[in-house]
Amino acid sequence: MPSPFYAAMSDADVKAIVAYLRTIKPVKNVIPKSEYYIPLPANYGPKVGSVPEISKDDPVAYGEYLAHSLGHCTECHTPVVEGHTDFNLLNAGGRILPNVSGLGFTAVSRNITPHPETGIGQWTDEEIKRAITKGISRDGRELLNVMAFSYYDKMSDEDIDALVAYLRSVPPL
């Protein structure tokens, strides 16, 4: 779970998710223990205090919140260099996702900065939204089913507009 990203979720959003989890019908399902082939971190960073609600008045700041803490777009779309997410290359793509969900393919995330040649700088807003919510790239190619397109498709228009405003605001790489 991308806990370091979720750590920046606002108190109100975390509470809403907990409230939702409490409404789910209990289902008995015995699950085997996880097996880890890597040393686990001692913890996931310092304890989180209180995170205030993020205002929707500033679409870029709100879009950043959606892309980072809720949608964790920035996690998948930032490369890992020597075992660590390299935030100097924020949103520049190139993260390798081997054997996604055991489906037998390796996906490489794309550059979603506004760079005109290697990123999405020349894409229209509609093309960006279509990629996120329908999984179709600018050239009409169907994207590998790695991103949760069908879930992102349920975002409100206001939220997806904020997401696009944020993506347009980051440095082109």
- 50 or 101: CB nearest ligand HEC: 101
**Nearest CA-CA partner of 6 in 41, 59, 61, 44:** 44
Write the single-letter amino acid at 80. Answer: V
Q: How far is the CB of 47 from ligand HEC (least distance, A)?
A: 25
Residue ranges in contact with ligand HEC by CB under 6 A? 67, 71-73, 76-77, 97, 107, 109-110, 112, 120, 128, 131-132, 137, 143-144, 146-147, 152, 163
The residue assigned the tokens 């347009």 is 168
- 2 or 14: CB nearest ligand HEC: 2
- 46 or 83: CB nearest ligand HEC: 83
**Six-digit token string for 145:** 């089913």
- 7 or 144: CB nearest ligand HEC: 144
Q: How far is the CB of 138 from ligand HEC (least distance, A)?
A: 6
158: number of Cβ within 10 Å: 11
Phi/psi at 16 (5° precision): -65, -40
Question: In sequence order, what DSSP letters do the residues of 20-68 get, joined into one string?
Answer: HHHHSPP-----PPP--SSPPPS-SSSPP---PPPPSSSHHHHHHHIII
- 33 or 163: CB nearest ligand HEC: 163
Within 13 Å, how many C-alpha atoms sit on residue 108's CB side?
Answer: 4
Q: How far is the CB of 28 from ligand HEC (least distance, A)?
A: 29
Q: How far is the CB of 20 from ligand HEC (least distance, A)?
A: 19
Q: How far is the CB of 108 from ligand HEC (least distance, A)?
A: 6
